[in-house]
Amino acid sequence: MAAEVVMPKLGMAMKEGTVSTWNKKVGDSVSKGDMIASINSEKIEMEIEAPQDGVILDILVQEDVGVPPGTIICYVGNPNEQLTEQNSSANELQAPKNEVAAAISLEEPPANAASSKKSKETVRISPIARKIAESENINIETIQGTGPKGRITKADVEKVLAERASESSPQTVERDNPAINKETLPVAGMRKVIAGRMHNSLLNSAQLTINMKADVTDLLSLQREIKEVIQQRHSVKISLTDFIARAVVLSLQEHKQMNSAYIDNEIQLYNHVHLGMAVALENGLVVPVVQHAEKMSLVELAAEIKTRAADARQGQLSTDRMQGSTFTITNLGAYGVEYFTPVLNPPETGILGVGATEDVPMYKGDDLQRRNVLPLSLTFDHRVLDGAPAANFLGTIKQYLEQPILLLL
């Protein structure tokens, strides 16, 4: 019997997933577990596996087309198997609400209008493409659809917009000068998802970043004292990032408003801490999530962070380990960056940016000492909380880092 392959839900705020690449075509044989397509959404790019042995009977969603989670994107079944009427009915039921084959009928003008023949015809267009066309005042009858059966896709509308912008802008000297060499990189796959998600994050939230520095001299000393014992007993190499993560988890439990999400004009406060740890990959960025970090000791948290990061770099991170984060940490210290402005991972309220530790002269009482200072950058959603409570949260993190014994309790 034919098996449905659906677009998975990759995050609690996910509204759309895109098929970036089909590795198989209709009629190709597949074995259970074969990678048949790549999909992406919300900074995440993953492979879709064949649910059973058989052949690709039908592909319903083309490349670069976005559809809601739960949408059927293809069928896998036995060779020469015919899709049943039930399968077809399911496709028709889902068509109006996704990118597969949605169609609209243009409003019919009066019957005596002689030139209204085309406006009475049905124009096949995806909901997203229609929304963009309406907002940009584009006549959909003039768009050449490249989707199945001439359906107008989001890419078709974006092409029209690009052509309109090109026609309205003056020719530059660079464009006309053949002596100037330049390289153009397509924005696709994970890069395209990240670009869109970060742009939407800035458009749809009131983001503000505040900075603070913490004296981590005693923390680094404690790390040196206990790292060998922890590695011998637990086979875990404890790092500064692990201490920072522990400080963040404890601080979130004291400042619940920061451990929240802004969803549908409501602030949802969480009692659990699902900690996102940004990991840079060769082709983009992923955010593995450590679920229920509030229940873990420092050593347990360190082990989970390293396991998630390793899985992410090896492309073995499962979908459930990339969703549901309530707060995120991103660290650019390894690149020599001090303070920076991290962008929120929606719908989260906060994200902590960690910079590079610096040796500085600092007075401790009357004594001038060499101390280690860690720059911290907190971006928060001003719709959820104001500057003072955000500063208090960052100050609590600073307190834990400067009194590291508290992180072991």
Asked if residue 219 and residue 161 are part of one domain, the reply reads: no
Q: Judge whether 193 lies within some domain.
A: no
The domain of 280 spans 207-408
Asked if residue 91 and residue 134 are part of one domain, the reply reads: no
Q: Judge whether 104 lies within some domain.
A: no
Q: What is the pLDDT of residue 16?
A: 82
Give the residue with greater pLDDT, 381 vs 14. Answer: 381
Give the residue with greater pLDDT, 126 vs 121. Answer: 126
**pTM value surpassing 0.75:** no
Give the residue with greater pLDDT, 256 vs 130. Answer: 256
Q: Judge whether 250 lies within some domain.
A: yes
Q: What is the pLDDT of residue 254?
A: 97
As for how many domains the chain has, the answer is 3
Considering only 116-120, 158-162, 344-348, which range has the smallest mean pLDDT? 116-120
Q: Judge whether 176 lies within some domain.
A: no
Q: What is the pLDDT of residue 329?
A: 97
Q: Judge whether 196 lies within some domain.
A: no
- In percent, the amount of the chain with pLDDT more than 90 equals 48
**Is residue 386 annotated as part of the catalytic site, yes or no?**
yes
What mean pLDDT do residues 28-34 have?
90
- Write down the mean pLDDT value for the chain: 83
What mean pLDDT do residues 185-214 have?
85
Of the candidates 28, 320, 359, 386, the residue annotated as catalytic is 386
Phi, psi of 280 (to 5 degrees): -80, 130
Q: Judge whether 200 lies within some domain.
A: no
Asked if residue 218 and residue 279 are part of one domain, the reply reads: yes
What mean pLDDT do residues 194-198 have?
80
Asked if residue 374 and residue 227 are part of one domain, the reply reads: yes
pLDDT exceeds cutoff 90 at 338: yes
pLDDT exceeds cutoff 90 at 125: no
Give the residue with greater pLDDT, 119 vs 200. Answer: 200
Q: Judge whether 181 lies within some domain.
A: no
CATH of the domain at 345: 3.30.559.10
pLDDT exceeds cutoff 90 at 404: yes
pLDDT tens digits, 232-287: 999 999 999 999 999 999 999 999 999 999 998 899 999 999 999 999 887 778 89
Asked if residue 368 and residue 302 are part of one domain, the reply reads: yes
Asked if residue 297 and residue 402 are part of one domain, the reply reads: yes
Q: Which of 72, 97, 122 is the last residue of a domain?
A: 97
Asked if residue 332 and residue 243 are part of one domain, the reply reads: yes
**Crossing angle of helices 240-254 and 298-313, rounded to 10°:** 120
**Is residue 311 annotated as part of the catalytic site, yes or no?**
no
Q: What is the pLDDT of residue 23?
A: 87
Cβ atoms of 36 and 22 within 8 Å: the answer is yes
Q: Judge whether 372 lies within some domain.
A: yes
What mean pLDDT do residues 1-18 have?
80
CATH of the domain at 47: 2.40.50.100
Asked if residue 139 and residue 71 are part of one domain, the reply reads: no
Contacts of 209 (CB under 8 A, 6+ apart): 341, 342, 353, 377, 378, 379, 380
What mean pLDDT do residues 120-144 have?
75
Q: What is the pLDDT of residue 232?
A: 93
Asked if residue 211 and residue 356 are part of one domain, the reply reads: yes
CATH of the domain at 158: 4.10.320.10
Asked if residue 92 and residue 126 are part of one domain, the reply reads: no
Asked if residue 353 and residue 230 are part of one domain, the reply reads: yes
pLDDT-derived band of residue 103, with 50, 70 and 90 as boundaries? very low
